[in-house]
Amino acid sequence: MNAQFKKGVLELIVLLSVTKRDMYGYELVSEVSRVVDVNEGTIYPLLKRLTNERYFETYLRESTEGPPRKYYHLTAAGILYKDALRKEWQEFSSRVNGFIKESERE
Amino acid sequence: MSREEFLQSLEARLQVLNEKERDDILSEYRQHISLRMESGLSEEEAIRDFGDFEELVSEILDAYNVNPEFGRAPQGEDRKKENAAKAAAAGAWRLVSRAGKGLGRMVTALWGLMVRMVLGVFAGAGRFGKWMMSGAAGLFSGKRHRNRAGDSGFAGERPADGSLLRERMEETMETPETAALPGAVSIAAGEGLDPAADRTGRNAGIEGAFSAETGNGEPGQTGTGGRTGEGNRKPGLFSRWGRRRRRMDEGEKRRGFFGWLWSGIVGLALFGVRAAGVAFLLIPMGIVDFFGVMFLGCVLVMCLLGYPVWGVTLGTFGGVMSCTALMLLTADILFPGKGREKREKRRRKPAAAVSQGETVPETVSLDGSPAENTGEEETAHEA
């Protein structure tokens, strides 16, 4: 898959993933990998950036399987950003799909 | 790449970040690798899933709005340039070190050369000084030659038994003119010769010889001015003038008026030289020396009072000594042998006083009467 496509949609997917429930890094990487095939290392920087922009909050939760894990929680600003990003994606994708159909029709 | 290597490299690249942030990032990746390993992957496979390391670092730094090029090792052209710069710097440093070593060797060689030159100069100066001293001693010493009549006045041997003097005396005694011969101061007892009355501009050589002859009562002995006539020393400049006058005196009977004229001219010239020397050398040096001594006293008092003028004091003392030595040298040049003659006379005064009662007077005055052994003899001899 084109890396630029993946890079553009990766942020939306991450935000949508955390919307359902709080996740820790490895879990979130696994969830995103189901949708797009990206380098797992690149997700952590994205998480860090979204956290720095106050779209995510992090907290530690004890784990029975190992050391404490850091969970990511979508903040109110994150929710708004997620909704705006989803709307933009829908409009963008519909226009692109329409353009593709028109191109195929011709 | 192992997990530790990956984490260490990542930590090194993320030094620009806050320590807390950096530890947080490293813990996440460490945990992710552990979980991947628990799912069945190896360390290398789990790390490989992270993708390109440089891209990963760039994305992490970008998340913090940090220039991804920060801290990145130079690549490609940049690395070539850096390597070239490093090589150039190393080459320049080698060149500088070699130049420094060469310069050090050159400086060492020059220093050794300078030291040898200085030592050679000092050695040469010492030898030159000794040569000058020996020349000056020979020039102004009282050991003068006794020349035969008509000799050129330069080096000649003096017979040890004084036969030369006897010959002169006999020559002067044989002719009637010898009665008026200037410079004939004293005669041996019983000879019957009258001394000459004219003493203008005559040398002390033959006079001293005659007086020494009669003073000691034995031929061949001289005492005036230390003129033992030991050997072949060259005569001094002014004593040469004296011998020339003596030859003139001895040849007066042949030359007559012109001899007298020449001797007068020479005497006047000698007098003029001495007068100029006294006026333009001795007197100014004396004045300078006087004021130098005064200044030396002042700075010495200041030193005793605690002022830091020891250097000035030493310098002034050295200057005064130098000026004094120069004055003595000049005086010795202008008036050769006079000091030594005086000292010899003073030494022989007790012996002369003992012989006062003898029938044969030691000296005869200008008018023929026995003269006392006083300083007047010196002036008579030294005229």
Sign of CA dihedral A78, A81, A87, A93: negative
Query: ipTM for the complex?
Result: 0.85
pLDDT in tens, A57-72: 999 988 887 788 899 9
pLDDT at B59 (0 to 100): 83
* Of the partner residues A45, A52, A66, the one whose CB lies closest to the CB of residue B59: A45
- In this predicted model, what pLDDT tens digit does every residue of B198-208 receive, in sequence order? 444 444 444 44
Q: Do B56 and A42 touch (CB under 8 A)?
A: yes
A-B contacts (CB, under 8 Å): 60
Cα end-to-end distance, chain B, whole Å: 119
Indicate whether B358 pLDDT > 70: no
- Domains, in order of start, for chain A: 3-105 (1.10.10.10)
In A, minimum Cα distance to B46 occurs at A40
Given a cut of 60, whether residue B225 has pLDDT beyond it is: no
Q: Which tens digits make up the pLDDT trace of B102-112?
A: 889 988 988 89
In sequence order, what E strands does chain A have?
23-24, 56-61, 69-74
Residue of A nearest to B45 (CA): A40
A29, A30, A36, A42: which to substitute to probe chain B, counting the most B Cβ within 10 Å?
A42
Residue among A28, A29, A39, A57 with most chain B CBs within 10 A, to mutate: A39
Q: Give the distance from residue A95's alpha carbon to the nearest chain B alpha carbon, in angstroms.
A: 30
Whole-prediction pTM: 0.38
B30-43 confidence digits (pLDDT tens): 888 888 888 888 88
Question: Which residues of chain A lie closer than 8 angstroms to B32, CB-CB?
Answer: 25-26, 29, 40, 44
Write out the residues of chain A at the interface with chain B, using a CB-CB cutoff of 8 A. 25-26, 29, 39-42, 44-46, 48-49, 52, 66-67, 69-70
Contact check, Cβ <8 Å, B25/A42: no
CA-to-CA dists, residue B292 to A69, B247, B298, angstroms: 101, 45, 10
Name which residue leads in pLDDT, B78 or B94. Answer: B94
| Per-residue pLDDT, B202 | 46
Asked if residue B378 has pLDDT above 80, the reply is: no
Residue B273 has pLDDT above 80, yes or no: yes
Mean pLDDT of chain B, nearest integer? 71
Residue B345 one-letter amino acid: K
Helix axes B257-277 and B237-250, enclosed angle (nearest 10): 160
Residue-wise pLDDT for B296-351, tens only, equals: 999 999 999 999 999 999 999 999 999 999 999 999 888 876 556 666 777 776 65
